[in-house]
Structure 1
Amino acid sequence: MSDPKFPKMLDYDLLKQELNDSHLESATDSSLNHLAPEALHFEDHPSTKVEGLTGSRLRSYAFAVLTRKEYSKSELVEKLALYAAHRDEVLKLVEELAKENYQSDQRMAETMLSSQKRKGKGPNRIKLALKSKKIDSSLIQEELKETDWNEQAYQLKVKKYGTQVEKEAKLKAKQIRFLMYRGFEMDAIIKAITRKEDDI
């Protein structure tokens, strides 16, 4: 089954002599360990990306991006600007996509709210997450108001520390710090750590 077109193995010594390249000595799989992971993904590598997109090509790329996941308006502008020839065209396109509801900060905000709540995050952490993506938290103001944050904080406290109400100051302070870090307001925190299991 041997084929002269495909040698059985590379002769590195011979290659080194022909190319006079001493670096071939380290051309093994293990030598790739020092490379950054992104260097091995050519589609994302700056040296191989397609630049200067305009018109229908830019629009097609925008649709391809949006089919993979939701983006805030700000994120989408920055993403497309990496590949577009003109930033002004990107701004105009993103506005158009938002009007046609292909891109929606409202939808993005609602998705983030749902995701963050599932992760046990309180309102303050959720607002910070929205701000990091330049999304106005007023878009989900009603949803934030309607959420029972007292219950959310209590369920998280129970999951982490159980139903017992701690009396020792040091342990109470630990629970308070944990819930504060998760983004809950102090009022909800105090109610959560003092709530007894049989309280309604």
Structure 2
Amino acid sequence: MSEAKFPKLLDYEALKQQFGEDDPQTKTSAFSTPVKAEFDPEERLFSDNKEEKKRPGLTGTRLRSYAFAVLTRKEYAKAELIEKLALYADDRDEVITLVDELSRENYQSDQRVAEMMLSSQKRKGKGPNQIKMKLKNKKVDTALIADELKETDWAQQAYELKVKKYGVDVAKEPKLKAKQIRFLMYRGFEMDAIIKAINRKPNED
């Protein structure tokens, strides 16, 4: 993956200084970077005390600080981040404006989310239809990885998965072939790649 397709990430060192790395209650991010917000709206929202179960009503710098704390833990799609922050914010319009700004500055990136999704799902043996569906659920445009989807040899991906599950022999019984087809369809592969995979003979290029 080229550097152009993977823009700058957050300045974690600056965030560590902002939120206090040495606090014993420091939280660990998804990138193994300890981060602690100056407050924890999630703890307040889900407190055992029913009287405390209120929207924290974050605004301004407190909302921005919480947004950075959230983004250090994992990558969020733009639509996901808006919904996440809206749970704790006082004004949804302020959330949308803030997330738009974070997106422009590449602190939030649907491109990164799409590329990470593609990579992780391919490692799990998932086909293009599954990947597109998961991106759609996150409201991420699949066009962001259109080239990568097109360049991937999905027949090879399907064949490797078929071999792992059923071996290298080409199935002759209709029931077994149908079973392999259903298996690969469930994994998100398209029929053209599936037919090539199940009919491919050992050592065949």
TM-score by length of 1: 0.77
Shift of 1:198: 1.6
Aligned to 1:154: 159
- Report 1:66-81 matches (<5 A): 66-81=71-86
Aligned to 2:141: 136
Shift of 1:199: 0.4
Aligned to 2:98: 93
Over residues 56-97 of structure 1, what are the superposed CA-to-partner deviations in whole Å (9 max), with x where a residue is unaligned?
Answer: 000000000000000000000000000000000000000000
**Matched residues in 2 for 1:143 and 1:137: separation?**
10
**Matched residues in 2 for 1:66 and 1:50: separation?**
20
Contact 2:168 2:201 in 1 (8 A): yes
Over residues 128-173 of structure 1, what are the superposed CA-to-partner deviations in whole Å (9 max), with x where a residue is unaligned?
Answer: 0000000000000000001010100000000111101110000000
Identity between Structure 1 and Structure 2 (%): 73
Shift of 1:99: 0.3
Contact 1:72 1:135 in 2 (8 A): yes
| Aligned with 1:102 (options 95, 107, 110) | 107
Q: Determine if the alignment matches structure 1 residue 179 to structure 2 residue 179.
A: no
Larger Rg: 1
Aligned to 2:46: 45
Over residues 17-69 of structure 1, what are the superposed CA-to-partner deviations in whole Å (9 max), with x where a residue is unaligned?
Answer: xxxxxxxxxxxxxxxxxxxxxxxx95662644661000000000000000000
Aligned to 1:6: none
**Matched residues in 1 for 2:54 and 2:74: separation?**
20
Shift of 1:101: 0.2
Contact 1:122 1:183 in 2 (8 A): yes
- Secondary structure in 2 matching 1:134: coil
| Aligned with 2:69 (options 41, 47, 64) | 64
- Secondary structure in 1 matching 2:97: helix
**Matched residues in 2 for 1:139 and 1:95: separation?**
17
TM-score by length of 2: 0.75
Q: Determine if the alignment matches structure 1 residue 165 to structure 2 residue 166.
A: no
Contact 1:122 1:153 in 2 (8 A): yes
Aligned to 2:37: none
Aligned to 1:127: 132
- Secondary structure in 2 matching 1:70: coil
Aligned to 1:199: 204
